[in-house]
A and B are shown apart, each in its own frame.
Chain A
Amino acid sequence: MTVTAEQLNEVSAGGGVASHRWQGPTSTAFSRGLGVMTIVGMAWLLAFGLIFSPADRVQGTSVRILYIHVPTAWIAYLAFIVTGVSSAMYLFRRGHSLAWDRVAGASAEVGVLFMGLTLITGSLWGRLTWGVFWEWDARLTTTAFLFVTYIGYLAVRRLGGSHHARARRSAVLGLLAVLEIPLVHFSVKLWRSLHQEASVARLNGDVELDGLMLFSLLVGIVTFTLLYGWLVLHRQRVMYLEDQYDDRDLDVALAERQAEAHG
Chain B
Amino acid sequence: MWRTARLVAAKDLRIEWRSRVVTNQVLPFTGLTLVLFAFALDRDDITTRVAPGLFWLATTFSLIVLVQRTFAVESSDGALDTLRVAGVDPAGIYLGKSMALAVQLIVLEALLMLGVIVFYSSQVRPAGIVLVAVTAVTATAGLAFVGTIYGGLAAGAKGRETLLPLLLLPVVAPVLIGATRAFEAAFGTREGEGIRKGVEVVDGWPWVGLLAVFAAVFGAAGVLAFGPLLEEA
Output the least CB separation between B169 and chain A (Å): 8
Given A168-B231, A169-B153, residue A180 in contact with residue B177 (CB < 8 A):
no
* Cα of A162 to Cα of B218 in the assembled complex, Å: 27
Q: Using Cβ atoms and an 8 Å threshold, which residues of chain A touch B157?
A: 159-161
Which of A161, A180, A191 is in CB contact (< 8 Å) with B170? A180
Give residues 93-134 of A contacting B (CB, 8 Å). Answer: none
State the interface size on chain B (CB cutoff 8 A). 31
Instruction: Determine whether the beta carbon of B173 is less than 8 Å from that of A145.
Output: yes
User: Contact: A161 with B221, CB < 8 Å?
Assistant: no
B87 within 8 A of A: no
Q: Which residue of B lies closest to A176 (CB)?
A: B221
A172 an interface residue at 8 Å Cβ cutoff?
yes
A162: B residues at CB distance < 8 A: 232
A191-B181, A195-B193 known; A176 and B225 CB under 8 Å?
yes
Chain A hits for B194, CB < 8 A: 196
The closest CB in chain A to the CB of B181 belongs to A191
Task: Give the distance to chain B from A142, nearest Cβ to Cβ, in Å.
Answer: 10
Task: Answer whether residue A1 sits at the interface, using C-beta atoms and an 8 A cutoff.
Answer: no
A165 contacts the other chain (CB 8 A): yes
Q: Does B210 contact A160, Cβ atoms closer than 8 Å?
A: no
User: Which of these binds chain A: B19-27, B55-63, B125-133, B158-166?
Assistant: B158-166
Residues of B within 8 A of A151 (CB): 166
In angstroms, Cα B154 to Cα A191, docked, is: 31
In the bound complex, what is the Cα–Cα distance between A194 and B229 (angstroms)? 39
Query: Quick check: is B83 within 8 A (CB to CB) of the other chain?
Result: no
Q: Is the CB of A188 within 8 A of B177?
A: yes
Cβ contacts under 8 Å, B221 to chain A: 176, 179
Q: Is the interface of B mostly helix, strand, loop or mixed?
A: helix
Judged by a CB distance under 8 angstroms, whether B88 is at the interface is no
Known: A152-B163, A190-B210. A179 touches B170 (CB 8 A): no
Min CB distance A100 to B, Å, is 15
* In contact, A172 and B177 (Cβ under 8 angstroms): no
Asked whether A164 is an interface residue with its Cβ less than 8 Å from the other chain, the reply is yes
Residues of A within 8 A of B213 (CB): 183
Contact B193 A194 (CB under 8 A): yes
Check if A184 sits within 8 Å of B174, measured CB to CB: yes
Whether B217 sits at the interface, judged by CB under 8 Å, is yes
With A159-B158, A187-B177: A152-B210 Cβ-Cβ less than 8 Å: no
- In the assembled complex, which residues on chain A have CB atoms less than 8 Å from the CB atom of B158? 159-160
Given contacts A152-B163, A159-B159, 12 further A-B contacts (CB under 8 A): A151-B166, A155-B163, A156-B163, A164-B232, A169-B153, A172-B225, A179-B218, A183-B217, A184-B174, A186-B174, A187-B177, A187-B210
Which chain B residues have a beta carbon within 8 Å of chain A's beta carbons? 149, 153-154, 157-159, 163, 166-167, 170-171, 173-174, 177-178, 181, 193-194, 206-207, 210, 213-214, 217-218, 221, 225, 228-229, 231-232
What are some 23 contacts across the A-B interface (CB < 8 A)?
A: A91-B228, A145-B170, A152-B163, A152-B166, A152-B167, A152-B170, A155-B163, A155-B166, A156-B153, A159-B163, A160-B157, A160-B158, A164-B232, A172-B228, A173-B153, A180-B170, A184-B171, A186-B174, A187-B173, A187-B177, A187-B178, A190-B206, A196-B194
